[in-house]
Structure 1
Amino acid sequence: MVDIAQQAAIKPASARHAVAAPALVPLKSIESGQWRALAQRAVEPNGYYLPGWALAVSATARGRTDASALAAFDGSSKRLIGLMPVTSLRRAWKIPLPALVSAHPYGTLCSPLIDRDATVEAAASLLRQAREAGAHALVLNDVALDGAAMNALKQVLDRDGLKPRVLSSYIRASLDATQDSETLLRDALGTKKLKELRRQRHRLEEHGPVVFDVARKPEEITPALETFLQLEASGWKGKRGTALLQHAGDATFIRRAIPALAETAQCEIITLRAGTTPVAAGIVLRHQDRAFFFKLGIDERFARYSPGVQLTLDLTRHLCADPAISSADSTASADHPMINPIWRERFAIGDVLIPLRRHDPVVALIHGALVGLNVAHEAARRVIRLLRK
């Protein structure tokens, strides 16, 4: 069976000329100026679909290259008003059924970019193009279930008599950065826990003055990124073979993406040092008024001092003190043991199946295949957890 892109390519000539632009286009063909302008107007921020990040992922990241896109344009001005990076269901999960899946951006958020000034028009155009590409369904992974982008899609689906189906969901930690940081931390952790963390920090100071550093400028970002990569590879991710440095494509992607975002002030690398020794580092993306805590690496020789928690406390203070940031997405898994006790706000993230045609039996096949896939994945995760114990 051919995949979605091939199906679109072999339509009769009359069908191909019935639309003004191809239903699917290479992600790299989207004009960068238009993309950046859309990101500024997006109804919901998503740091992982910024052009500097998403194009680096699609160019080199392991298993994520050569993504396609559904792109919506305003009918009169030809202004880009919607963007949804996608791949075929066959390519994503080896399921040979006619569906498109949100292209995974090496982050845990795939909410599409939708123009706040044309939400319904953009959402309708994205769904229409998916149909024209031959898809019977869209599968959106890791979307904010109550976010503005999903609400725009729901509005169009409701108008067309269609209902999305939530395949799986979980509650994720976030930060309300409009609060006073010290009050927030005291309410979240309590005085006893904060006292213990202060004691650990004093012990860490025996190795040298403890300094929290934020790299923003392009010339600062490159050395800070290498520090982060070394820390990540030195810890448990390195032992499991999942550190960015351990895969050439992933290392190339991150070394392209971070400087690109630094050029537009949409990335920071935070580092905690004891004297001259970096003990923890993290990558933070910024889009509109929201921050995204991408990854954290620590020097496990200092584990007794909770360096990851210490870094997160400083990041919390840093974000709460920044008037440009009102919230932060932890981009963490459910019940994350480190971030959940500190960032106490919550929102729902899920995988959603969007049917594109009414009373379509193919959608039921797609739904059944995805449910079976989720069951298999969960069984595999249980086995892995047991083996690790």
Structure 2
Amino acid sequence: MRDDIGLFCPPSLGTTDIRVEVVDVDEFAQAGDAWRDLVSRTAVPNVFMEPAVVLALDRSTGIDIRVLMAWHVTAGDMGGDKPPRLLGVWVVTVGRSPSGLPIRILKSPISKYAYFGAPVVDTEYASAVFTALFDRIALDPKLPKLLLAGDMMDEGPLADALRGALAARGSRAVVIERRKRAKLQSDLTGSSYLGRSLSGNRRRRYQQLRKRLALMGAVTTTSHRSSNEVRSAFEDFLLLEASGWKGKRRSAILNDAKSTAFARAMIADLAEADLVAIHALRLDGRAIAMSVELRSGAACFAWRISFDESLRQFAPGILLLHEVTVALLDDRSIVVTDSCNHRDVGFVADCWAERLSIVDLLIDTRPARAAMIETVGGAERLRRRARENAKSLYKAAKRWGASVYKGHARGS
């Protein structure tokens, strides 16, 4: 189903206008060449808005997904002389506000397994595209007017264009949270990069760990890119992830049937388009650490990594990360790799020196509606603060319990 409203861009674009339409997932999946052309023109690709990802989520979960597509139409295009050009895509869901308030909002990213929410926009027309997208949402009676835009870029030309479009329209956006996370972006070769990011002591330590691991069997690294290889390797990854702490906490993909269906479909469809690579560190052929990297345009996304926790003393996850780092930097078709980590912590953050600035925004697409957005934004910040406090209390209680147990053990 398609629902069109023609929206004209600012007069500075001359005879150009932008038409924004809201389409369903099946129609978006037919974008084909228009989508790939847009990806080649954007400065900020986003694999989580690839049609394969959106279609997999729609079929496995049935959530309410809307796709906003901005088309560039010149005066000649209106007469049907040539097809319009795709200038922007923003995939959002419609649902209740996570803040607990009884209102419906638009949300992006569209899944807890999608770690970047930025729309895919032609860099040359970014300001005009954002203006047209916000106009469409504001004028469409079928769409909520508040947009919770999470995991957005907080720096660079696209972020500047978004802020400029909001200011020009008189629309409000409140910051829910700002943070940084690791990214990999360097002109160095992989081996040179590791030589700089790791101290001499750390390099020697990991070399020793690999040698100790090799005493237990043959240590090899494999890379899987073909469709059949990726599907098979991903099944191994799912089992490896479920065998560790994520499985125990019921947060592994295999712990949820809908998540499993989505992930399998997404990986299979992306693999058909050559947009997935799976790397594995193996001991006598058995995978003891695995990572899944997703591609879109010149950007790579380090989606998931897992390792055999019974071998944690050998740091198999870190050993694999070093191999993957070299492979990513030596692939000159990749400009940047997003770690996809929510926080700037962990062994990926220790290895990768560059940082990506991320922001979660609550946007009111209507002009001058301060009261509503401040209320909803405040409620969302309180919800997140309460969640973080609960996590801190849980970790503190766990540490206390462990110390008590050790004390009893020493006294017995």
TM-score (norm 2): 0.84
Query: What is the RMSD of the two structures over their aligned residues, measured on CA atoms?
Result: 2.4
Which whole-Å CA distance do the structure 2 matches of 1:103 and 1:324 have between them?
A: 25
- The equivalences for 1:58-97 within 5 A come to 58-61=58-61, 65-76=63-74, 77-88=83-94, 90=96, 92-97=98-103
Worse-matched range after superposition: 299-308 or 379-388: 379-388
SS at match of 2:123: coil
Determine which of 361, 365, 368 is the counterpart of 1:359: 368
What is the Cα deviation at residue 23 of structure 1?
6.0
Aligned position for 2:388: 378
SS at match of 1:295: strand
Aligned position for 2:229: 220
Aligned position for 1:210: 219
Determine which of 240, 243, 259 is the counterpart of 1:250: 259
Which whole-Å CA distance do the structure 2 matches of 1:365 and 1:27 have between them?
A: 32
- The equivalences for 1:317-328 within 5 A come to 317-328=326-337
SS at match of 1:272: strand
Aligned position for 1:121: 128
SS at match of 1:74: strand
What is the Cα deviation at residue 96 of structure 1?
2.5
SS at match of 2:84: coil
Aligned position for 2:43: 43
- Structure 1 unaligned residues grouped into runs of 5+: 1-8, 10-15
* Aligned CA distance change for structure 1 residues 18 and 235 (closer, same or farther; 3 Å): closer
Which whole-Å CA distance do the structure 1 matches of 2:225 and 2:397 have between them?
A: 41
- The equivalences for 1:106-117 within 5 A come to 106-117=113-124
What is the Cα deviation at residue 283 of structure 1?
0.4
- Residue type of the alignment partner of 1:32: A
* 1:96-132 Cα shifts (integer Å, max 9, x gaps): 3353221434121111111234222321121111112
* Aligned CA distance change for structure 1 residues 95 and 84 (closer, same or farther; 3 Å): farther
Which whole-Å CA distance do the structure 2 matches of 1:83 and 1:277 have between them?
A: 41
When the two structures are aligned, how many residues end up with a matched partner? 373
SS at match of 1:323: coil
SS at match of 1:118: helix
* Contact 2:127–2:162, Cα closer than 8 Å, also in 1: yes
* Aligned CA distance change for structure 1 residues 351 and 246 (closer, same or farther; 3 Å): same
* Contact 2:23–2:66, Cα closer than 8 Å, also in 1: yes
More strand, by proportion: 2
What is the Cα deviation at residue 358 of structure 1?
2.8
TM-score (norm 1): 0.88
- Structure 2 unaligned residues grouped into runs of 5+: 8-18, 75-82, 400-412
Which whole-Å CA distance do the structure 2 matches of 1:45 and 1:305 have between them?
A: 35
What is the Cα deviation at residue 17 of structure 1?
8.6
* Contact 2:293–2:303, Cα closer than 8 Å, also in 1: yes
Max radius of gyration: which structure?
A: 2
Worse-matched range after superposition: 16-25 or 112-121: 16-25
What is the Cα deviation at residue 387 of structure 1?
4.2
* Contact 2:176–2:359, Cα closer than 8 Å, also in 1: yes
* Contact 1:113–1:149, Cα closer than 8 Å, also in 2: no
- The equivalences for 1:181-330 within 5 A come to 181-330=190-339
What is the Cα deviation at residue 263 of structure 1?
1.7
* Aligned CA distance change for structure 1 residues 45 and 339 (closer, same or farther; 3 Å): same
Worse-matched range after superposition: 291-300 or 132-141: 132-141
Q: Is 1:346 equivalent to 2:352 in the alignment?
A: no
* 1:52-75 Cα shifts (integer Å, max 9, x gaps): 1222123215xx833222222223
SS at match of 2:327: helix
SS at match of 1:249: helix
* Contact 1:130–1:138, Cα closer than 8 Å, also in 2: no
Worse-matched range after superposition: 200-209 or 96-105: 96-105
Aligned position for 1:334: 343
